Amino acid sequence: MVLYTTLSSQFKQYLLSLNKVAAKRLIQDEFTGDNAFQLIQQIMMPALENIGKEWEVGSIALSQEYMASNICEEIVNSILPPESPKRRDMPVLGVATLGDQHMLGKQIVASCLKASGFSIFDYGAIPVDELATNVVKDAIEVLLVSTLMLNFAYEVKSLRNCFNETGISTNIIVGGAPFLFDDELWKQVGADAMALDATEALSKVYELTGVVE
Ligand code: B12
């Protein structure tokens, strides 16, 4: 853990100086083939959180934050597990951010579910009414919603209302910062469950669909 704390601050420096090669090498040196989620959680996420705080106090520009997340996105894509070949008769899942432009959390959750054998439709930053149409068209059984901004977290309420009005029984699992700060928020917006991270999202999907691991 101490090791990762040091590596995370080193990684952050590479991100802020836009040294993509060094940032990539740092992660690749630690990558053993099956520790992608651990490296994301313990090296990349603390570095990005720190960068977010620096932007908040005005010590770096939003463009630096943007470039840092682009580098992370590229690295994340290079280490995440591929889709699972054991595609059984699994329920179909969807993932979306309801307009939020923060994409990394969604990407990590989707990839963890794919690696576990689920088919997953990625709808990106789609508005509520369009999403509801797609959910029906693709017969989505569980929808995972990722938001980092509170205003988009409240959009889940509109989504649930829209589902209720149109008789859609798809389950909604939410995740992301606003739901971590307020552990009652998922109930207030009408979600069926919330999860802390990608691994927990997988357990919730098993719970809601009755699929046995
Ligand atoms: C990178 C970043 C950006 C990038 C995003 C690029 C991209 N393609 O993703 C850019 C530069 C575009 C950006 C823009 C903005 N950002 Co920004 N951003 C960040 C930053 C630094 C990192 C986010 C990130 O990628 N984290 C890494 C991922 C992997 O973590 P995660 O999303 O939390 O996901 C994990 C868990 O939460 C969970 N999870 C996530 N989703 C889900 C879903 C389900 C279903 C489940 C179960 C679990 C789950 O699992 C994941 C893996 O463990 C954060 C800082 C922070 N503390 O998070 C600020 C931050 C989120 N941004 C912030 C702000 C204010 C903005 C802007 C408004 C800035 C502006 N003035 O324009 C815009 C808004 C854009 C928009 N409309 O959405 C604020 C939000 C404050 C708030 N609470 O409202 C933060 C917290 C920075 C800060 N300290 O102020 N941002």
Contact 145, 90 (CB under 8 A): no
Three-state DSSP at 119 gives strand
Q: Which of 175, 210, 199, 200 lies closest to 189, judged by CA?
A: 175
Across the chain, the runs of DSSP E, i.e. the strands, are 92-96, 119-124, 142-146, 171-175, 193-194
Which domain range does residue 128 map to? 92-209
54 and 109, same domain (yes or no): no
**CATH at residue 199:** 3.40.50.280
User: What is residue 1's predicted lDDT score, i.e. its pLDDT?
Assistant: 56
- Give the closest residue (by CA) to ligand 1 atom 25: 104
Mean pLDDT value of segment 61-78: 90
75: Cβ below 6 Å to ligand 1?
no
Show which of 50, 79, 108 is a domain's final residue: 79
**170-202 per-position pLDDT tens digit:** 999 999 999 999 999 999 999 999 999 988 999
Residues 96 and 156 in one domain: yes
CATH label of the domain that carries residue 12? 1.10.1240.10
Ligand 1 neighbour 181 (Cβ under 6 A): no
Of the candidates 23, 48, 79, which is a domain's last residue?
79
Atom 75 (ligand 1) nearest CA: 101
36 CA → ligand 1 middle, Å: 20
Confirm or reject: Cβ of 79 under 6 Å from ligand 1: no
Residues 141, 47 within the same domain: no
Q: Which of 57, 148, 156, 183 to mutate to test the pocket of ligand 1 (most atoms within 8 A of CB)?
A: 148
pLDDT at position 115: 78
What pLDDT was estimated at residue 99? 96
Residues 170 and 193 grouped into a single domain: yes
Residues 142 and 101 in one domain: yes
> Is residue 74 domain-shared with residue 126, that is, in the same domain?
no
Q: Does any domain span residue 85? A: no
Each residue of 5-44: pLDDT tens digit? Answer: 899 999 999 999 999 999 999 999 999 998 988 898 899 9
pLDDT value of position 88: 61
Q: Which of 56, 79, 102 is the last residue of a domain?
A: 79
Residues 97, 181 share a domain:
yes
Do 109 and 27 belong together in one domain?
A: no
Atom of ligand 1 nearest to the CA of 173: 45
pLDDT band at 2 (very low <50, low <70, confident <90, very high): low
In whole angstroms, give the CA distance from residue 160 to residue 1.
40
Q: What is the per-residue pLDDT for 118?
A: 87
Report how many domains make up the chain: 2
Do 175 and 103 sit in the same domain of this protein?
A: yes
Global confidence as pTM: 0.90
| Same domain, residue pair 126 and 201 | yes
Q: Give the pLDDT confidence of 80-136 residue by residue, as tens digits.
A: 887 776 666 678 999 999 999 999 999 989 988 887 888 899 999 999 999 999 999
